[in-house]
Amino acid sequence: MPSHEKIRVGVIGVGYLGKFHAEKYAAMEDVDLVGVADLNREAAAAVAERLHTANFADYHDLLARVDAVSIVVPTVAHHRVALECLGQGKDVLIEKPMTSTLAEADELIAFAATRDRIVQVGHLERFNPAILAIQQHLTKPMFIESHRIHVFKSRALDVDVILDLMIHDIDIIMNIVPSPIKTIHAVGLPVVTPFTDIANVRLIFENGCTANVTVSRVSKENIRRLRIFQPHSFISVDYGKKEYMVINLKDSKTSEGMPEEEVFRDSLVEKDALEAELRDFVANVRNRTRPMVSGEEGRSALAVAHEIIAQIKAHQAANRHFFE
């Protein structure tokens, strides 16, 4: 597509997150936000009026007018909506988790390939500026600690905390560690919803790296942090504050005989992860390039998430008396 032409984009689903997709697209000079669609016509109309675009109750009426769409509907509808959009020749960005099942993910990936269409998965934390910044400091991560603790919100309750929150950390860690996962050890329990609301998982990779991941959506505070330990180096990330710190151990010693430290800190609060993600999608649509988080990568994170869910369910079934 010529660089001077605007990419025509639509947003399907303008609930909590979808309305932010629409806002970001509306502000991009090289994008024409053609319209937004939602079964809740009042919600669609309100977003459309504020952003000076069209609104649709049926997203099929939007598809003929666009080149690409963000799909921000409930997870159970991801597969159906994305398949119809791809069938109409549209590139798609699907919010995480990619689909409900691996079979659905496989079908989308295969179908997109036959149509030469782009499938990008909305693993937003990949575009967190702190995560982007630490890439140059990664050498050989050997131990990783991840905590994603959220205040309870009455949204995304059609999935458990693994698909709601932990899948972000699964995707990040699998991208950081260049090795297949060898073993998974998972525990979790429901607290507020019928699904798992708090969980802890230990991922052990074939290269020896271990990642300990804790998630909860029943906290009184929000904590989103990552710590990476590697030979002669330590890295910490605060996702929420968009801050990171790198400590490198030098060959020289302190008077106490400890290695001297070289410390680097930076804050990137002015950068917007969602805007970066959507700009990447638009660039991929224009240039026909592979997304940083492709359908295949979305599928890989989903596969690990499902293994974790299966382990937690088996543990709960074996200890049913404890959970009753």
Q: What is the 3-state secondary structure (H, E, C) of the chain?
A: CCCCCCEEEEEECCCCCHHHHHHHHHCCCCEEEEEEECCCHHHHHHHHHHHCCEEECCCHHHHCCCCEEEECCCHHHHHHHHHHHHHCCCEEEEECCCCCCHHHHHHHHHHHHHHCCCEEEECHHHHCHHHHHHHHHCCCCCEEEEEEEEECCCCCCCCCHHHHHHHHHHHHHHHHCCCCEEEEEEEEECCCCCCCCEEEEEEEECCCCEEEEEEEEEECCCEEEEEEEECCEEEEEECCCCEEEEEEEEEEECCCCCEEEEEEEEECCCCCHHHHHHHHHHHHHHHCCCCCCEHHHHHHHHHHHHHHHHHHHHHHHHCHHHHC
Backbone angles phi, psi at 315, to 5 degrees: -65, -40
3-state secondary structure of 262: strand
Q: What percent of the chain has pLDDT over 70?
A: 96
Q: What residues does CATH 3.40.50.720 cover in the chain?
A: 7-123+274-293
The pLDDT-based confidence of 324 (bands split at 50, 70, 90) is: low
Residue 278 above 70 pLDDT? yes
Q: What is the mean pLDDT of residues 249-274?
A: 88
* pLDDT, tens digit, 9 for 90 and up, residues 132-182: 999 999 999 999 999 999 998 766 566 789 999 999 999 999 999 999 999
Residue 4 above 80 pLDDT? no
Q: In this structure, which topology does domain 7-123+274-293 adopt according to CATH? A: Rossmann fold (3.40.50)
CATH class of 126-270+305-318: alpha beta
pTM of the predicted structure, to 2 decimals: 0.92
Q: What is the mean pLDDT of residues 232-246?
A: 97
